[in-house]
């Protein structure tokens, strides 16, 4: 980002939130973000630690946010099987997400959550709950919008007095019905957005009506994976998916001669791991496609897990299931920092003196 960011901004069109993410990643853990002196708890050595940008699209700044979010979710787990459902959309709709992400991705999450609730109500006669997580990328950084859902294996009866479990520990809902309901809801939401003029930013070559009707004529993909083994497996899964960004540092092999080499998994070719080489500018372009608009919430809850009334609903579910509440700790998570003086062991560092921060450059595209 630091090597080609300035040139990229001069030669490519970007949105304000893409420029903000690019600038934050350029400055992350450098003198431009300021620094603190810290003392190792174990050996007493003093270190200079650069501050992080904490941008939600920075691959180096998600560990603490993920840990805090998972700590909050531990108290909401129920003693029931959890299922993993994935909804994807046809490629013909990708342009809607590229030019109008806040409209298209909101409709995508809404359609996925409501499809699960509608099918649960019609097939199980129960009010389900689900957590939905938006992902917009494929392994090669191409645009591939899809939604991961975590669904408890049961829900409240329509009168709210009984807990109705799924009919089998390995079966949630009929996939074909889920797929059709998701398709109907998303196309309906997109047609409504078109009538209200929410796709005005689309270029003249992209016709929203043609894209929606073309997608309606295709077969859509939705599938239910095997249920998790228990609450620990649910949290392990959530840790992998909730705060993930388009690519992690560990997948990048090298950056030499203006080209980025990274590892990707080809699901169309027996799930094989391969290497891809991209020009640095193309790599940045693909990465910025997955930067979400400001204040866009990519993790949403539906049904009895919806934010309003979630705590009361979970307590009621535990009562019906005869379960006790999970223990909750208020201890603040302290991120582990690598101490260079303790034989490369991770130590907790205590802040001491804040070093003066370097004033950031005034221009968004200035070289760092």
Q: Residue 316, SS3? A: helix
> pTM for this one?
0.88
- Whether the predicted pLDDT of 343 surpasses 70: no
pLDDT computed for residue 230 by the predictor: 74
Name the pLDDT band for 332 (thresholds 50, 70, 90): low
Answer yes or no: is 160 within a domain: yes
Q: How far is residue 367's CA from residue 6's CA, in Å, rounded to a whole number? A: 6
The verdict on 269 and 298 lying in the same domain is no
The verdict on 35 and 109 lying in the same domain is no
Q: How far is residue 297's CA from residue 302's CA, in Å, rounded to a whole number? A: 13
Compute φ and ψ for 201, nearest 5 degrees: -80, -5
The verdict on 146 and 162 lying in the same domain is yes
Domains: count for the chain: 3
Q: How many CB atoms lie within 10 A of CB 330?
A: 5
Under 8 Å between Cβ of 192 and 163: no
Q: How far is residue 111's CA from residue 105's CA, in Å, rounded to a whole number? A: 10
pLDDT computed for residue 240 by the predictor: 76
The verdict on 233 and 221 lying in the same domain is yes
Q: Residue 262, SS3? A: strand
Answer yes or no: is 65 within a domain: no
- Whether the predicted pLDDT of 364 surpasses 50: no
Answer yes or no: is 135 within a domain: yes
Q: How far is residue 22's CA from residue 260's CA, in Å, rounded to a whole number? A: 17
Q: Give 49's contacts (C-beta < 8 A, 6+ positions apart).
A: 35, 36, 37, 38, 337, 349
Name the pLDDT band for 346 (thresholds 50, 70, 90): low
Taken as a whole, the chain contains a residue count of 368
The verdict on 82 and 29 lying in the same domain is no
The larger pLDDT score, comparing residue 281 to residue 334, is at 281
The verdict on 284 and 298 lying in the same domain is no
The verdict on 130 and 230 lying in the same domain is yes
Name the pLDDT band for 362 (thresholds 50, 70, 90): very low
Name the pLDDT band for 357 (thresholds 50, 70, 90): low
- Whether the predicted pLDDT of 61 surpasses 70: yes
The structure tokens 């190792």 sit at 40
The verdict on 302 and 185 lying in the same domain is yes
- Whether the predicted pLDDT of 356 surpasses 60: no
* Angle of CA points 137, 142, 146, to nearest 5°: 35
| Tens digits of residue pLDDT in 201-250 | 999 999 999 999 999 999 999 988 877 777 778 877 777 778 889 998 88
Contacts 24+ apart (CB under 8 A), 207-211: 208/96, 211/92, 211/93, 211/95, 211/96
Compute φ and ψ for 56, nearest 5 degrees: -70, -10
Q: How many CB atoms lie within 10 A of CB 300?
A: 19
| Tens digits of residue pLDDT in 93-145 | 999 999 999 999 999 999 999 999 999 999 999 999 999 999 999 999 999 99
The verdict on 206 and 303 lying in the same domain is yes
Q: How far is residue 22's CA from residue 195's CA, in Å, rounded to a whole number? A: 34
Answer yes or no: is 69 within a domain: no
Give the range among 18-22, 262-266, 330-334 with minimum mean pLDDT: 330-334
* Angle of CA points 172, 81, 86, to nearest 5°: 50
Name the pLDDT band for 191 (thresholds 50, 70, 90): very high
Q: Per-residue DSSP letters for 92-118?
A: GGHHHHHH-HHHHHHHHHHHHHHHHHH
The verdict on 92 and 216 lying in the same domain is yes
> Looking at residues 286-304, what average pLDDT do you find?
95
Answer yes or no: is 101 within a domain: yes
The larger pLDDT score, comparing residue 31 to residue 349, is at 31
pLDDT computed for residue 134 by the predictor: 95
- Whether the predicted pLDDT of 329 surpasses 70: no
Domain range enclosing 253: 248-288
Residues 33, 35, 40, 45, CA torsion sign? positive
Name the pLDDT band for 367 (thresholds 50, 70, 90): very low
Under 8 Å between Cβ of 134 and 105: yes
Strand partners, 349: 40
Mean of the per-residue pLDDT values of the chain? 86
Burial label, 100 (beta-carbon count in 10 A; 0-12, 13-18, 19+): buried
The verdict on 242 and 140 lying in the same domain is yes
The verdict on 211 and 303 lying in the same domain is yes
Q: Residue 76, SS3? A: coil
pLDDT computed for residue 68 by the predictor: 81
Answer yes or no: is 365 within a domain: no
Name the pLDDT band for 326 (thresholds 50, 70, 90): low
343 torsion bin: left (phi>0), alpha (psi -120 to 50), beta (else): left
The structure tokens 């992690």 sit at 248
| Tens digits of residue pLDDT in 23-35 | 999 999 888 888 8
CA separation, residue 39 to residues 64, 335, 341, 350, 357 (Å): 20, 14, 11, 5, 19
Under 8 Å between Cβ of 243 and 299: no
> Looking at residues 290-319, what average pLDDT do you find?
94
Q: Residue 88, SS3? A: strand
Under 8 Å between Cβ of 87 and 146: yes
Answer yes or no: is 62 within a domain: no
Answer yes or no: is 326 within a domain: no
């Amino acid at each position: 980002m630091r090597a080609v960011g300035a040139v990229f901004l001069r030669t490519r069109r970007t949105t304000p939130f893409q420029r903000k993410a690019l600038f934050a990643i350029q400055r992350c853990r450098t003198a431009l973000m300021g620094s603190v002196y810290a003392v190792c708890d174990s050996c007493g050595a003093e270190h200079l630690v650069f501050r992080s940008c904490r941008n939600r699209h920075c691959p180096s700044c998600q560990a603490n946010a993920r840990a805090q979010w998972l700590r909050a979710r531990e108290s909401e787990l129920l003693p029931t099987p959890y299922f993993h459902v994935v909804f994807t959309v046809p490629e013909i709709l990708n342009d809607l997400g590229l030019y109008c992400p806040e409209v298209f991705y909101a409709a995508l999450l809404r359609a996925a959550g409501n499809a699960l609730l509608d099918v649960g109500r019609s097939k199980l006669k129960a009010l389900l709950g689900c957590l939905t997580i938006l992902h917009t990328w494929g392994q090669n950084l191409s645009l591939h919008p899809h939604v991961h859902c975590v669904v408890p294996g049961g829900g409240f009866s329509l009168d709210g007095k009984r807990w109705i479990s799924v009919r089998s520990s390995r079966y949630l809902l009929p996939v074909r019905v889920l797929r059709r309901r998701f398709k109907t809801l998303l196309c309906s939401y997109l047609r409504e957005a078109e009538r209200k003029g929410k796709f005005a930013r689309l270029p003249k070559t992209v016709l929203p009506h043609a894209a929606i009707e073309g997608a309606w004529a295709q077969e859509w993909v939705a599938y239910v994976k095997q249920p998790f083994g228990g609450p620990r497996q649910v949290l392990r899964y959530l840790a992998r998916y909730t705060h993930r960004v388009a690519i992690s540092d560990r997948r990048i092999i090298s950056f030499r001669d203006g080209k980025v080499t990274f590892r990707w998994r080809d699901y169309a070719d027996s799930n094989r791991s391969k290497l891809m080489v991209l020009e640095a500018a193309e790599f940045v372009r693909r990465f910025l496609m997955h930067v979400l608009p400001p204040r866009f919430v990519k993790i949403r809850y539906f049904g009895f897990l919806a934010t309003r009334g979630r705590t009361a609903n979970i307590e009621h579910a535990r009562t019906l299931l005869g379960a006790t509440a999970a223990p909750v700790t208020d201890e603040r998570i302290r991120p582990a920092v690598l101490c260079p003086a303790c034989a490369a062991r991770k130590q907790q560092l205590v802040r001491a003196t804040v070093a003066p921060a370097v004033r950031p450059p005034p221009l968004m595209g200035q070289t760092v």
